Structure 1
Amino acid sequence: MCELYASANPASYEVIRRSMRIQGAVTSLALERQIWDLLQEIATAEQLSVAEFVSTLYQEVLERQGEVKNLASLLRITCLTYLADHTRSRS
């Protein structure tokens, strides 16, 4: 039943910790390799570095919602939204 998921390469879900500056503060983020790869793809499409993209996204969420409760979760959902949008546009 779960063959597709159970056979995933462990390197794709290896957690990688990176530090970046957001709003002047250094923040450490622990995300799966595949999430970092997708963030790189998104940032490249926007002609930004990953740090610039994350910082811009963080600022825009702050402006719209007043706070960012869980940045790591926001970034994972951003990647899922990106993939879903690309899947729909290819159909």
Structure 2
Amino acid sequence: MCHLFASQNPDSYVYETRSIRLNGQSTSIRLEKVFWNILEQIAALEGMSVPCFISTLHREVLLMWGPVPNFTSHLRCICLVALEKRATGMPAASLGGESSERRRHVVVG
């Protein structure tokens, strides 16, 4: 039953730490390699490098919501949104800004 999950290559969930500048501050972000791979794909689709994408995302989140209590968790959630987008074929904008409650009540005609 869980073979798909149990057979996951351990290399994919090994942590990788990358240094990055957020709002002029040097910091490091530690994520599992599988999340870095997804962020690389997202950044490429946006025509950006991963550091540029993450910096832009951080700046936009600060403007929308204020300080981010756990930005690393936010990045993991961004990856899940990207995977959901890919699975449903929906544009990213239609997933990111709406709550699941709102999406549930969309009428397709």
- In the superposition, the TM-score normalised over structure 1's length comes to 0.95
**Is the counterpart of residue 18 in structure 1 residue 18 in structure 2?**
yes
Letter in 2 for 1:63: L
Gaps of 5+ in 1: none
The answer on 1:65 being equivalent to 2:47 is: no
Mapping for residues 1-91 of structure 1, pairs under 5 Å: 1-89=1-89
Structure number with greater CO (CA < 8 Å, separation at least 6) is 1
Distance (whole Å) between structure 2 residues aligned to residue 2 and residue 74 of structure 1: 27
Question: Partners of 2:82 and 2:75 in 1: how far apart?
Answer: 10
Identity %: 44
Deviations 1:33-53 (A, max 9, x none): 010000000000000000000
Length, aligned pairs only? 90
Deviation of 1:68 (Å): 1.1
Which residue of structure 1 aligns with residue 103 of structure 2? Answer: none
Distance 1:9 1:49 in 2: 26
Cα offset for 1:2? Answer: 1.6
Partners in 1 of 2:58 and 2:42 — Cα distance?
Answer: 15
Q: What is the one-letter code of the residue matched to 1:79?
A: C
TM-score normalised to structure 2 length: 0.80
Instruction: Name the CA distance, whole Å, in 2 between partners of 1:63 and 1:48.
Output: 20
